Amino acid sequence: MTTPIIISDEVREALERCAPVVALESALITHGFAYPANLEITHRMADVIRAAGALPAVIGVWEGHPTVGLSETQLERLAQETAVKISIRDLSLAQLRGLHGGTTVAATMLLAHRAGLQVFATGGIGGVHRGHPEDISADLPALATTPVIVVCAGAKAILDLPRTLEFLETWGVPVLGWQTDIFPAFYSRESGLAIDQRINHAAEVAAIYASQRALELQQGLLVTAPIPAEDEIPAQEIEPLIAQALAEVEALGVKGKHVTPHLLARLVALSETRSRRANESLLLNNAGVGAQIAVQLASQSGTMHL
Ligand code: PSU
Ligand code: MN
């Protein structure tokens, strides 16, 4: 039995014309934000992408079917109803049970690539967890094996950023800094850690991606854009809250796929929603950068815009 990926008509037509398309994940909707903030931020990201001349395609799982370009009704139901968090290993399990689910960075990258999309904008990738180097997000091996450009604000600050960068180095994933020399730390503009190369224009990202393809590399390309300055939470302010949230996760014995959503929800509560505002700001920024890159790639392929 094969599992076709369902691709919406709008996305299929755009791909046929080689028009710019930007993938968006749905774990943000099902596990990153509560209703109605989850639906609102998705709509706002989609608006930013459309305004820049590209088509947004939210990727998720509907009745067990991997879907590229979820409909408005599907988005609303994912935003309001219980749905599972779907990383790569969950794709086939959800299929068997016919579940609805929100796809993580890893699963979204995989489905985007299978559908022929090249650019994906998100908030922060998963990585190696602090104090638990054995807990490595499936996002990292996905970046090592899936040739998609992922625009993010670095890895979530709740993670072990040095170990996360070491993994990406070992597995050959270039880490680019969008108009920055320093790896961003999600809520804060700078982690103090170096990126591989600063890039200032979408054309440079497109050139690096083209070189990777010419060399037949399987790795993705990580483009890290710092959160806009006005919404940044300085490290010295967010760090004590992260430490508290991490201690609570240890004490409660939260494990596996529940760790990341639990930490993010606790940070929103502990920061009195400031972390949510920061998260929204960086998501909108990343949507804009992703759209610029998608438009650049499409213009190089010598085709029409939307
Ligand atoms: N970044 C956010 N909010 C999120 C996530 C990332 O700002 O909710 C999600 C993404 O879907 C990412 C996932 O792929 O968390 C990582 O989960 P884990 O650490 O269990 O792999
Ligand atoms: Mn994990």
Q: Relative to the CA of 126, which ligand 1 atom is closest?
A: 16
Domain count, the chain: 1
Residue 1 lies in a domain: no
Is the predicted pLDDT of residue 2 greater than 90, yes or no? Answer: no
Residue 247's domain spans which residues? 6-301
Mean pLDDT, to the nearest integer, of 5-13?
Answer: 98
Q: Which residues line ligand 1 (CB under 6 A)?
A: 25, 27-28, 31-32, 87, 104-106, 123-124, 126, 137-139, 156, 257, 260, 264, 279
Q: Relative to the CA of 159, which ligand 1 atom is closest?
A: 19
What's the pLDDT band for 3 if we cut at 50, 70, 90?
Answer: low
Give the number of other Cβ atoms within 10 Å of residue 237's Cβ. Answer: 13
Tell me the ligand closest to 108's alpha carbon.
Answer: 1
What region does 155 belong to: left with phi over 0, alpha with psi -120 to 50, or beta?
beta
CA of 259 to the centre of ligand 2 (A): 7
Q: Is 156 a catalytic residue?
A: yes
CB-based neighbours (< 5 A) of ligand 2, an ion: 135
Residue 132 lies in a domain: yes
Nearest protein CA to atom 3 of ligand 1, as residue: 32
- What does the pLDDT look like over 86-112, one tens digit per residue? 999 999 999 999 999 999 999 999 999
Pocket test of ligand 1: the residue of 122, 148, 266, 267 to mutate, having most ligand atoms within 8 Å of its CB, is 122
Rounded to the nearest 10 degrees, how much is the dihedral formed by the CA atoms of 110, 165, 173, 53?
60
Residue 218 lies in a domain: yes
Mean pLDDT, to the nearest integer, of 117-128?
Answer: 97
pLDDT value of position 179: 98
- What does the pLDDT look like over 20-57, one tens digit per residue? 999 999 999 999 999 999 999 999 999 999 999 999 99
Domain of 144: which CATH number?
Answer: 3.40.1790.10
Tell me the ligand closest to 139's alpha carbon.
Answer: 1
Residue 306 lies in a domain: no
pLDDT value of position 301: 84
Residue 84 lies in a domain: yes
Q: Relative to the CA of 261, which ligand 1 atom is closest?
A: 8
Residue 183 lies in a domain: yes
